[in-house]
Amino acid sequence: MTAKPKVAITWLGACGGCDEAIVDLNEALLDVAAAIEIVFWPVALDFKYDNVRAFKDSEIALSIITGCVRNSEHAEVAELLRRKSGIVLAFGACACFGGTSGLANFISKKEIFDYVYKDAPTVVNPNGVFPQTVTELDGKTLTLPEFYEHVYALNQVIPVDYYLPGCPPPPDLIATAVKAVLTGDLPPRGSTLAPRRALCDTCPRNKKKPLRLEITKINRIHQIESDPDFCFLEQGILCMGSATRGGCGETCVRNNIPCRGCFGPVPGVEDAGGRYLSAIASILKTPETEDLRDLTATVMDPAGTFYRFGQAVSILGREKLAKP
């Protein structure tokens, strides 16, 4: 009997939703678990970092890594798993693009610390204490990982072999990806294990989309009762479906909520936020050109909206982790 392939699953700067998505394989998870040996999965199994350290280099067939890299412990764990693994899969929007946590790159670490530990209305901190990487207490030493200035996507810290986007990735793509790894039936390294087409192409509302889209008034999602059958853009509601990779199952648009781009851009787009911005700009229409400025001004928070999931991999936001 040949040994089952070893698989590690871990979270870095993550919410755990990706782990829940794996559990959402339900019965299929038991079949998968029978075909592999899960050697690390902190949310569910009692293995510790030392178990991982004990493996030979590349002994783990596949590491599924979720979450962004926000602190020194994330970077250490990512590097450890990279060394011990044959294949690293960046799993979910945070590992692939930094995710919503990447919005923190619009501000500094100091601003975050000042608010959280000093200025929030509930803080009681008479001595102005901030968490420290090293604390001495009666001769005892306590350590914390270093909180970085910046939020990184996984491939800005270690080489990544494959990408599975989504917030979280949907069950069918997870199952397909795991199967592909187990059977060795994989596309070239660096590929994204999701369809290449844009969400618009599979959107159920696409059939009723007018030939020429025009936005004359921007509507925010709470301001109107949007029609569940018609294109959001036609209703003046910002939707990122035109430049976002499909494969998510159209869960949001089917739920009458516009796309925010958690699958990342379609292949070939370098800066997803810029592409969304261009797509919207090209369909804005005003009766008089001087009204254009006013119309664009009603696009609220373009930075936080267009770069909702992709700030950390955007042209201006991206950065490689500088190794000390």
- Which tokens sit at 178? 């795991």
Among 1-9, 56-64, 195-203, 295-303, which window interacts with other proteins (CB under 8 A)? 295-303
- Alpha-carbon distance values, 83 to 39, 43, 53, 55, 77 (Å): 15, 22, 10, 10, 10
Interaction of residue 3 with other proteins, rule CB under 8 A: no
> What is the smallest separation between the CB atom of 87 and other proteins, expressed in angstroms?
21
Site map for other proteins, 168-187, x if CB under 8 A? Answer: x-------------------
Please identify, using beta-carbon distances, which residue of 115 and 179 lies nearer to other proteins. 115
Interaction of residue 12 with other proteins, rule CB under 8 A: yes
Interaction of residue 58 with other proteins, rule CB under 8 A: no
Single residue of 151, 160, 174, 313 touching other proteins by CB under 8 A: 151
Site map for other proteins, 96-115, x if CB under 8 A? Answer: ---xxx-xxxxx-x-xxx-x
Whether 321 contacts 114, CB under 8 Å: no
162, containing H or E segment: strand 162-164
Among 40-48, 83-91, 180-188, 206-214, which window interacts with other proteins (CB under 8 A)? 40-48
Interaction of residue 11 with other proteins, rule CB under 8 A: yes
Q: Identify the DSSP state of 191.
A: -
Name the residue among 107, 113, 89 with its Cα closest to residue 22. 89
Site map for other proteins, 189-228, x if CB under 8 A? Answer: -------------------------------xxxx-x--x
Q: What are phi and psi of 67, to 5 degrees?
A: 95, 160
Among 174-182, 193-201, 203-211, 294-302, which window interacts with other proteins (CB under 8 A)? 294-302
Among 56-64, 68-76, 180-188, 194-202, which window interacts with other proteins (CB under 8 A)? 68-76
> What is the smallest separation between the CB atom of 115 and other proteins, expressed in angstroms?
5
Please identify, using beta-carbon distances, which residue of 1 and 137 lies nearer to other proteins. 137
Single residue of 84, 205, 245, 275 touching other proteins by CB under 8 A: 275
Please identify, using beta-carbon distances, which residue of 208 and 220 lies nearer to other proteins. 220
Please identify, using beta-carbon distances, which residue of 73 and 186 lies nearer to other proteins. 73
11, containing H or E segment: strand 6-11
- Which tokens sit at 107? 């501000």
What is the per-residue burial (b if ≥16 Cβ within 10 Å, else e) of 150-169?
bbbbbbbbbebbbbbbbbbb
Single residue of 145, 175, 206, 219 touching other proteins by CB under 8 A: 145
Whether 102 contacts 312, CB under 8 Å: yes
Interaction of residue 158 with other proteins, rule CB under 8 A: no
Q: Identify the DSSP state of 9.
A: E
What is the per-residue burial (b if ≥16 Cβ within 10 Å, else e) of 214-224?
ebeebeeeeee
Return the biggest CA–CA distance within the chain. Answer: 75
Bridge partners, 134 (sequence order): 143
Single residue of 5, 42, 86, 195 touching other proteins by CB under 8 A: 42
Name the residue among 43, 53, 38, 35 with its Cα closest to residue 17. 43
Q: Identify the DSSP state of 154.
A: G
> What is the smallest separation between the CB atom of 64 and other proteins, expressed in angstroms?
14
Single residue of 31, 129, 201, 214 touching other proteins by CB under 8 A: 129
d(CA 132, CA 143): 8
Single residue of 243, 274, 310, 313 touching other proteins by CB under 8 A: 274
136, containing H or E segment: strand 134-137
Amino acid at 199: L
> What is the smallest separation between the CB atom of 210 and other proteins, expressed in angstroms?
18
